[in-house]
Amino acid sequence: MPKRKAAIAVGGVAALGAAALLLPNAMASQDKDATAAAGTAKTLKATDASTLSAQIQKQLGTAFAGSYYENGKQQLVVNVARGDQNAMAQAQQAGATVREVDNSTTELKAAAQTLKTKATIPGTAWAVDPRTNKVIVSADSTVTGAKWDRLESTVAGLGSNMATLRKSSGTFKTFVSGGDAIFSQVEGGNVRCSLGFNVTASDGSPAFLTAGHCGVAAKEWSDSQTGQPIATVDQATFPGEGDFSLVKYDDPATQAPSEVNAGNGQTVPIAQAVDATVGSTVFRMGSTTGLHNGQVTGLDATVNFQSETDPNGVDTVTGLIQTNVCAEPGDSGGSLFTQDGGAVGLTSGGSGDCTSGGETFFQPVTTALAATGATLGDGGQAGAGDEAGAGDQAGAGDQAGAGAGDQAGAGDEAGAGAGDQAGAGEQVGGDELGGAADPSAAAGDPAAGDQAAGDQGAAQNGTGQHHKSRHHSGGN
């Protein structure tokens, strides 16, 4: 079997402003233009702030009440439970800006547990926002009547200083549909998903991470709609404690570079997996809408998706990253990463779109690596993978009982038949780029323009499309 090279791809760069931020000179200017921090607070890049936050959290223990990154000042802000002067001094000495807050991490977690017990309603989500020191509770457009009353009453019972309730536009859903994809044949049609990051499995074989609801929907995956399978699901989790899958390439000679093809001639090397920090800028690649950026708005988010197999059921996923980065059907499973090459997340779901905006939730890559025992690229760079224990979330069957059909409704959001996915511009300049469904992708962006002509129709029409991957022979 010929040696293959796997790479993450997208259909075109839709957000030119986001693309500009990824240019080398922009990356250099972030450090060059940093102003001196007041007092003892360090000037940090977002990835360094995440590392510092983890160190301070370990030092402070229960006194630590969350942290966030101030992009403008390039400083880490650490919340400390009110009255603990020793903890404040420790955090300041470590290089953070410190503020006293009323709600401890223990109290905020207790509030989230109350919501889980009393208000697990399809179309709801909640996450801790360290900037407000509250739990932010969101309800989509489907939460009305008695459901809204129940949610509102539960939030009110937590106290005004503990939680805030808000309405979210659209409907919380996993982002299924078009894009440059990996495919699987299942009963009822095709399933279509996106590749997130190439990794090395714990046994040394090449593999990739994608969303868990892909892995429970289908076992074998191909790089073309009618092609033979090239990869097989090894582990999958959805719903439950995450939304991630480890999929191994069937050919052990597959080359799986640790990089993101950002479009417009840019490739971002992925050097390590990093934890998200509230307030930091992140970039999302998606085959439907291309490159978009935004900020992390919450951590350890819980999202209650409406079950696609049970009208009265709910698929609850915990431990997600909440952001204000937009996404649309077909972007699911794509890469969330930092400007300097840190792998942050895998697109799970959300609400809204890239015209009116919205919010999107991501599976943390560090958690997925730790659970599966995988490492980024050719190994050794993952960090979190060192703590693996591959069996902790092992076996696609662990979550498959309820989930195996959850996303397999081939065409719930997709529309037409399997034939509609053909001709997605899959051979553009030797690369299977296809799928730039965003109308803005062709306007003013040379890279996107090359693909736009044949890609508009395919990207949003496939049956049961999930996320998007790219698999091609040769280099980028």
Cis ω for the linkage preceding 239 (within 30 of 0)? yes
Residue 469's nearest CA partner among 1, 6, 4 is 6
For the domain made up of 5-21+173-472, give the CATH fold.
Thrombin, subunit H (2.40.10)
What pLDDT does 31 receive? 37
Could you give the CA distance from residue 108 to residue 106 in angstroms, rounded to a whole number? 6
For position 360, what pLDDT does the model report?
94
Q: Which two tokens stand for residue 316?
A: 């609850």
Helical (H) or strand (E) element with 362: strand 357-364
Q: Do 5-21+173-472 and 33-101 show the same overall fold?
A: no
Residue 182 is predicted with a pLDDT of 64
**Amino acid identity, position 154:** T
Q: Is 296 helix (H, G, I), strand (E, B) or coil?
A: strand
pTM: 0.73
Distance, CA of 162 to CA of 134 (rounded, Å): 5
Measure the CA angle with vertex 72, ends 69 and 75; round to 5°. Answer: 40
Q: Hey, which bits of 152-280 come out as E strands? A: 163-167, 173-174, 182-186, 189-193, 197-200, 206-210, 220-221, 231-237, 244-249, 259-263, 266-269, 272-273
Domain residue ranges of the chain, discontinuous segments joined by +: 5-21+173-472, 33-101
pLDDT recorded at residue 460? 34
- Residues 269, 275: contact at Cβ < 8 Å? no
What DSSP string runs through 157-188?
Answer: HH-TTTEEEEE-SS--EE--S-SS-EEEEETT
Compute, in degrees rounded to 10, the torsion defined by CA atoms 224, 229, 234, 236: 40
User: What sign has the CA pseudo-torsion 221, 224, 225, 229?
Assistant: negative
Whether 363 contacts 174, CB under 8 Å: no
What is the tally of helices (H) and strands (E) in the chain? 10, 26
- Just give the CATH number of 33-101: 3.30.300
Judge contact between 464 and 410, C-beta under 8 A.
yes
**Residue 224, pLDDT score:** 76
Q: Cα Rg for the chain, rounded, in angstroms? A: 21
**For every one of its 476 residues, what pLDDT tens digit does the chain have, with 9 covering 90 and above?**
344 455 444 434 444 456 656 654 343 333 333 333 334 799 999 889 999 999 999 999 999 999 999 988 999 999 999 989 999 999 999 999 999 999 999 999 999 999 999 999 999 999 999 999 999 999 999 999 999 999 999 999 999 899 999 998 788 887 643 233 566 777 667 777 778 899 999 999 999 998 898 888 889 888 777 788 989 999 999 999 999 999 999 999 988 889 887 777 788 899 899 999 999 999 998 777 888 999 999 999 999 998 877 888 999 999 999 999 998 877 778 899 998 899 999 989 999 899 988 899 999 999 999 999 999 965 433 333 333 333 344 333 333 333 333 333 333 333 333 333 333 333 323 333 233 333 333 333 333 333 333 333 333 333 333 333 333 322 22
Tokens of 14: 């839709």
CB 11 within 8 Å of CB 194: no
Active site members: 213, 243, 332
